[in-house]
Structure 1
């Protein structure tokens, strides 16, 4: 493990990639909108005498020292947050609220849609209270970005704005039987080529099918043409703009979120009649959100209420795309792995989608519009990462706080031969085994809590290696290093294990709020905070820690083969026969 000293110690608290840190919004924010620049001695253009920002604000050189701020809504699987970033890219105020995760039946996972909105609004209030107490005002917040959990499906009545059922969360597996039936339909083999996603319980499409088949209020709204569908971004933007009471309700989604539904052609980023027909969705009976770029000065509307009423929402990205943007993964070949509730590895492949032949997802990395082509990524999704640690804490009582997992795992030198296939929601990429169940192998009388804790952490690392191998096959290139972020990346043991198992360096920067930062960047690009991605190249490099592989390659190979054997043995546990 190599630690790169920080030049600026007052950094963020949780996420990384290949990009330098001190994000100077103050200077970048003042970049001109037209070119009559003065230049530095090396010929580099510098600031104009004046430029106009949104809301009619005139910025002159005399006011360059005035501080500007960008808000960021980060709505995740277990909590919502609102952060306000200052000119150095540091959150000067933030507020976080955890909400209930509902598990009404085995394999079912739901959220109360109202609670999602309430938590976001309370986070904005909490962060703004801090912000004002530090001497700032609402007018200092130029714009707001939003990033959200993907695939989670919300349906509501377009006339009343009321949800018709709980949100069905992305790892929910109640649609297993629907997926099996779909795989047997004519045309199933061509679906991935159109939308980039394999048939599984993961995307929004099968969740909507289940709702239409099983919830009477949803069926009726569909027949009466008042059924509104959306992922969490659409639901939040709709409600934050005033919902059904708004003069003109805002029902939109961005390209990154839209690409997770299986309703969208990945090549033109439009709803596809063949895809909708395959899933039995009549586009004239359900109101689908309008697809817009991830960065837009008008499409997402503005907050209708609260301490930031009338401040525009100008950026929107699905959380994993947002983390890639926040880590400045703007070049093909750059990749990041986020260790959150699940684990998500995105690999930038450039302006043309690459349809995986090895079990990965093809998705939109980001789409900043304004004449720029969307950028695509290969993605590997792991259902269980941090949630595996929560399982040890909440279900088994091994630890009192998730931060204690590394300490427990370090009480033993290895997993003692224990392998834990954490298939609580089946297995995602690159395996796509919907009928797998969480399974412990290799348990003996010697096994203790430390062995199981270590095996839980190793499970995420093994699946990451499997994804990296698939990416290497699809792209023809071996990744030279892996940038990491998310809560579980704070564990030195997990990151060292990841480096050992994959055989490549793992790069963890000191600034960890890259998901929220990505949404702020998308918002800022729409409002003149930044004009070009090149202006962000030096973001998020400070205070990095590099974990170099230390394990003998033969040992790592044996461990991985044992994991692969365990994966095969975990199949079929959901079938009683």
Structure 2
């Protein structure tokens, strides 16, 4: 039998990555990345230069199509795989990343009459300018006794679908009326490949309040929020919602020509990027957690039961692996936090020293931070540079470092920031276990575990858990490819379900990071202090919120 392959397309925050994988052996035959030409749009619109407001984060959909045009042909060329050997395609995407489209599925922002309106563009997952809408959703859900919010830890986020759509309605009603649908960018990409709009149960469940048995919240709930939203789910969010692993459709002739593939190739329903790391890491059983570690960190836990967990970002039946409940929690600034420090806060001598020895600033700081003993720097940080997602779910919180003196060195601050994110993860893990969701085995995937050994050892020491590392460098893309193999099905040489495909195609590295008892003892003490700061500033303090209020007022 001819060898069979699948393609996984991973749309991240800064670029799109494509892998091609062997259906039988898994792994990566070839990888190619295409940076987004427009990047993340946070200050001004491309072209007109129109200024954006505070906490905006947009993207341009043409950048996503360029990934298809450039990276898919490249992985075919690099691997030497024939298009006829590719039996399936899977897509994962950052979420909640949404865009308004017309009846033909064309983004409004590419149409001349809407190109100067920020609300016509893609709202990236980390667009936080819909916070007042999210606050109102939370207030009304609590006041009305709605129970669906319990699946999301009691709070919705400004990052999610309904808050973002409602912001459009409030601030740009013309765009709201012009939009035939608001769609997740992952679902939109699948539509570009197949010619059909279908919605993923993963994105709908975690980011739009949809439930397998109950559907969306009632029209009465939306009417009480705003009478103009009464038919939101029947109009702007309408569309068939299909489970993960389902074949969304087949590659159209036009899409096949664009990418150099064969028309009729199976295309899977889209999945959230971090969630694709679950099968990509080989996690398929209750009690397993996958930490998708990149610019942000998603904690993804599989369980056989559904319970309420404080600060969880969502629990969806079949949301990651068929037959299990998938829980999502997270920290919105991890790699972004370390990047901020290296790019904005380190003194010039660090940059010069790193350049002299031919390494990155990150590597220079990591080497020196590794020379420090636990607690030696006398610092403690709160990891809220981009707000808190779990367990406090408050985007108005901000970062903090305590213990600074005139003797504090850059590597000491760097280590304290690494530790702060590990403390945040431990808090999330404890919330799961206090609710009765056991965390028995931990996998880490993404760019950070592959590059920073100190980072992973700190996580093992702080949490007191063994951590296994996914073998592939592009775990989400491999997870997307696994979905492509399931969409193809056994009849085309693929697999019958996600669990079977993941066991066959995913790998972990031999090296395991294990906690060192003497390190853990010190971190237990530091963690108690972290929790004190966490509760003072996160649960009862208003200082961070007042600072943000003053800042916004002065920037008006």
SS in 2 for 1:127: helix
Count of residues in Structure 1 that have an aligned counterpart in Structure 2: 493
Instruction: Tell me the CA shift for residue 228 of structure 1.
Output: 1.4
Matches within 5 A, 1:306-321: 306=258, 307-308=260-261, 310=263, 311-321=265-275
Report the TM-score, using the length of structure 2 for normalisation.
Answer: 0.81
Q: Give the whole-Å Cα distance in 2 for the aligned partners of 1:126 and 1:487.
A: 21
Q: Residue 520 and residue 485 in structure 1: after superposition, are their counterparts in 2 closer, same or farther (change >3 A)?
A: same
Q: Give the whole-Å Cα distance in 1 for the aligned partners of 2:224 and 2:275.
A: 27
Q: Residue 122 and residue 363 in structure 1: after superposition, are their counterparts in 2 closer, same or farther (change >3 A)?
A: farther
SS in 1 for 2:308: coil
| Contact 1:144/1:315 (8 A) holds in 2 | no
Q: Residue 482 and residue 373 in structure 1: after superposition, are their counterparts in 2 closer, same or farther (change >3 A)?
A: closer
What are the ranges of 5 or more consecutive residues in structure 2 without an aligned counterpart? 44-52, 110-119, 352-359, 551-556
Determine if the alignment matches structure 1 residue 330 to structure 2 residue 284: yes
| Contact 2:25/2:505 (8 A) holds in 1 | no
1:235: which partner in 2? Answer: 188
| Contact 1:342/1:382 (8 A) holds in 2 | yes
Matches within 5 A, 1:138-537: 138-159=83-104, 161-164=106-109, 165-185=120-140, 186-187=143-144, 190-193=147-150, 198-221=155-178, 226-241=179-194, 249-269=195-215, 272-273=218-219, 276-277=222-223, 279-280=225-226, 281=229, 282-283=231-232, 284-299=234-249, 302=252, 303-306=255-258, 307-308=260-261, 310=263, 311-350=265-304, 352-356=305-309, 358-364=310-316, 366=318, 374-396=323-345, 400=360, 402=362, 404-414=364-374, 416-475=377-436, 477=438, 479-490=439-450, 491-527=452-488, 528=490, 529-532=494-497, 533-534=499-500, 536-537=502-503
Q: Give the whole-Å Cα distance in 2 for the aligned partners of 1:269 and 1:374.
A: 18
Q: Residue 163 and residue 304 in structure 1: after superposition, are their counterparts in 2 closer, same or farther (change >3 A)?
A: farther
| Contact 1:80/1:116 (8 A) holds in 2 | yes
Q: Residue 338 and residue 287 in structure 1: after superposition, are their counterparts in 2 closer, same or farther (change >3 A)?
A: closer
SS in 1 for 2:26: coil
300-309 or 387-396: which moved more? 300-309
- Among residues 98, 103, 118, which one is paired with 2:66 in the alignment? 118
| Contact 1:197/1:262 (8 A) holds in 2 | no
1:558: which partner in 2? Answer: 525
Q: Give the whole-Å Cα distance in 1 for the aligned partners of 2:127 and 2:289.
A: 27
Instruction: Tell me the CA shift for residue 279 of structure 1.
Output: 5.0
Instruction: Tell me the CA shift for residue 559 of structure 1.
Output: 1.0
Instruction: Tell me the CA shift for residue 321 of structure 1.
Output: 2.0
Instruction: List per-residue Cα deviations over 1:77-119 (Å, max 9, x = no partner).
Output: 1210111112421222221022211222442222122222223
| Contact 1:362/1:376 (8 A) holds in 2 | no
Report the TM-score, using the length of structure 1 for normalisation.
Answer: 0.78
What are the ranges of 5 or more consecutive residues in structure 1 without an aligned counterpart? 1-62, 242-248
Q: Give the whole-Å Cα distance in 2 for the aligned partners of 1:189 and 1:443.
A: 45
2:42: which partner in 1? Answer: 103
2:27: which partner in 1? Answer: 90
| Contact 2:201/2:319 (8 A) holds in 1 | yes
Q: Give the whole-Å Cα distance in 2 for the aligned partners of 1:194 and 1:535.
A: 28
Instruction: List per-residue Cα deviations over 1:215-260 (Å, max 9, x = no partner).
Output: 2441331xxxx4311112112122334xxxxxxx421121111112
1:56: which partner in 2? Answer: none
Comparing both chains, which one has the higher relative contact order based on Cα–Cα distances under 8 Å and sequence gaps of 6 or more? 1
Q: Residue 263 and residue 147 in structure 1: after superposition, are their counterparts in 2 closer, same or farther (change >3 A)?
A: same
Q: Residue 559 and residue 111 in structure 1: after superposition, are their counterparts in 2 closer, same or farther (change >3 A)?
A: same
SS in 2 for 1:549: coil
| Contact 1:393/1:402 (8 A) holds in 2 | yes
Instruction: Tell me the CA shift for residue 408 of structure 1.
Output: 4.6
| Contact 1:191/1:275 (8 A) holds in 2 | no
Q: Which has the higher helix share?
A: 2
Q: Give the whole-Å Cα distance in 1 for the aligned partners of 2:180 and 2:501.
A: 43
